[in-house]
A and B are shown apart, each in its own frame.
Chain A
């Protein structure tokens, strides 16, 4: 049976190809499709190369490097050695604790304050444009200007803050120079520099709340707090949760401000963040395998937040 059907099929196919002009058109279509695809990839090639070199390949390399060691130009596989090294580093948990505290402070200050500032600005009937520009001004500063300016303000001897406190005979602080206050000082400055964008995003969300909801709440005799809690917060819940995740992911990668203001690790390592530790492994200890391994820990922790963010964002569409 099989022996007879197979040649039968081939002959029919040959016959069809020889006879029909329709299939010849199909062939032309094939080459047109090919040229269309080539053209499309011509448009894509620049981005594909950049993604390949600077994103996809480094992603793979991050994993490979975590299990490799380079000594005097010779690279060898070392298994879990790098991961063990960073895990047993005496400052591993310090760095994580600081990063966690930084994120927590940044949320308490940098997440709550902009929300209430936005609510306040949304209620004002005057000077709205002026106030919005004010809040946004620091966002436009280069980080070096904001950070070094605050470093000067925080200086315990001649900084502006202590000099003002002295005028009013208030107790002064060591700010960035004390392990108790260094981290929170950095967070306050960082919040000043960045809260403008969050405030404007909340403001946009507040303006989309239908006024009828507040009208109805008024009729029910709701007070100010109850209106905020039962109308404003639920109506902006999606934006709030997106911003929360965005901020967690961003602040857990803090480097610039601690580096500029506290020299990185700060007094008694009180501002050493995980990303600063990555930097230290790579560029102080020249241990790129260890730096990569530490990055793997960070990836593990942050991947959950990023995934949640992507999911919420998809639902938002």
Chain B
């Protein structure tokens, strides 16, 4: 734990807390916060996990029980097969990591070209990409949908195809902004030295720029995966085929026809992958999301 000195002190000084009265108040507040926060933030998750084990009767009738009276693990099994959760989870995973791959290749290459290769009209291209940040995404949903129905010039219909999710995620001005700003901070001398050694732009990108850019690539990757994992309206419109839907849309469209306890079991399963990944990489995820989310 960090040492509390006058330079990094907060609202209340350590001296105040060291007094008997301060100590009492501090420990009271701490225990209240611990109890309340655990109840508020873990409580619903606990309720979700345990309700998945209860019978329909126990889930719906008074009074609520903290521990399932007669645990029924079969609910989870029913949820898994009846809502085809394996398929839904796989689809979500496929969309999220496909989107990540496309963004890493296209947006990194583009930001690198705009930052280091600086072609003619590059600033106009950059301006056009950053201008998209000003347009609220909900406004573009309708014309984007029409575009996906019949791609101009190519006349391809992308509905029910993963491209309809992957390719629009590349058009992310925020990625371009974050990546270009990071690449700008890499000294040009380094690039010049690579050029003297005979390295072309691709070689320079792969062996000099990318190894230095791990932190920003991490931020972009976390955002790419989380955004697809949490998206709702767009995948609902472009993936109407039930066998192609990601978890959010699939569970919701099947939620009417299953008993409440099975549905809750399905919700618990759907929450598991991201919660596990978060608990494993919480430090990276939290710092990445906070570092990236304000800039745009």
> A residues bordering B, Cβ < 8 Å?
36-37, 39-41, 43-44, 46-48, 50-51, 53-59, 61-62, 65, 119-128, 131-145, 148-150, 152-153, 157-158, 160, 163-164, 166-167, 192, 197, 200-201, 204, 206-207, 209-212, 214-215, 218, 224, 227-228, 231-232, 239, 242-243, 246, 249, 252-253, 255-256, 259-260, 275, 278-279, 282-283, 288, 291-292, 295-296, 298-299, 302-303, 306-307, 309-310, 313
Contacts and interface: CB of A to CB of B under 8 A. Distances in A.
Contacts of A292: 142-143
Given A144-B251, A295-B138, A306-B133, 7 more contacts: A135-B37, A145-B48, A149-B47, A152-B263, A200-B290, A282-B142, A288-B146
Contacts, number: 305
Contacts of A160: 47, 64
30 contacts: A44-B119, A44-B125, A46-B105, A47-B129, A50-B167, A61-B143, A62-B142, A62-B143, A119-B11, A126-B30, A131-B33, A133-B286, A134-B37, A135-B37, A136-B286, A137-B275, A149-B48, A158-B260, A192-B44, A207-B8, A209-B10, A211-B9, A211-B10, A232-B11, A239-B294, A278-B142, A291-B142, A295-B140, A310-B134, A313-B296
Contacts of A48: 110, 125
A132 B267 CA distance: 24
A302 B139 contact: yes
B144 A58 contact: yes
A144 to B, nearest CB: 4
Contacts of B105: 46
B36 to A, nearest CB: 10
Nearest to B267: A145
Contact of B11 (A132, A145, A224, A291): A224
From A135, A140, A157, A206, residue with most partner B Cβ within 10 Å = A140
* Chain A facing B: main interface SS: helix
A157 B40 CA distance: 22
Which 5 residue pairs are nearest across A and B when measured between Cβ atoms? A47-B110, A40-B119, A46-B106, A50-B170, A43-B113
A134 B229 contact: no
Interface stretch (B54-62, B72-80, B185-193, B213-221): B54-62
A148 B138 contact: no
B294 A201 contact: yes
B255 A148 contact: yes
A154 B104 CA distance: 41
Contact of B275 (A141, A143, A207, A224): A141
B277 to A, nearest CB: 8
Contact of B139 (A143, A218, A295): A295
- B contacts with A: majority SS: helix
A148 B251 contact: yes
Contact of A127 (B6, B26, B30, B140): B30
B64 A43 contact: no
B113 A40 contact: yes
Interface in B88-106: 92, 102, 105-106
Contact of B113 (A44, A53, A119, A243): A44
A181 to B, nearest CB: 19
B107 A47 contact: yes
Residue from the set A54, A242, A279 with the largest chain B CB neighbour count within 10 Å: A54
A117 to B, nearest CB: 9
Given A41-B119, A211-B5, A55 B247 contact: no
B295 interface: yes
B210 interface: no
B138 A158 contact: no
B11 A215 contact: no
Interface in B128-175: 128-129, 132-148, 151-152, 167-168, 170-171, 173
Nearest to B45: A137
A306 B134 contact: yes
B296 to A, nearest CB: 7
B120 to A, nearest CB: 6
Contacts of B200: 39
A45 to B, nearest CB: 9
Contacts of A55: 132, 135, 140, 168, 171, 173
A160 B11 CA distance: 38
Given A148-B263, A148-B267, A214-B10, A39 B44 contact: no
Contact of A53 (B60, B128, B167): B167
Contacts of B249: 144
B81 interface: no
B139 A145 contact: no
Nearest to A295: B139
A211 B8 contact: yes
B113 A41 contact: yes
A251 to B, nearest CB: 11
A144 B139 contact: no
A56 B128 contact: yes
A46 B170 contact: yes
A245 to B, nearest CB: 10
A258 B64 CA distance: 26
A142 B247 contact: yes
A157 B295 CA distance: 44
B264 interface: yes
A138 B26 CA distance: 27
A149 B134 contact: no
A278 B143 CA distance: 12
Given A133-B282, A166-B62, A58 B147 contact: yes
Nearest to B269: A145
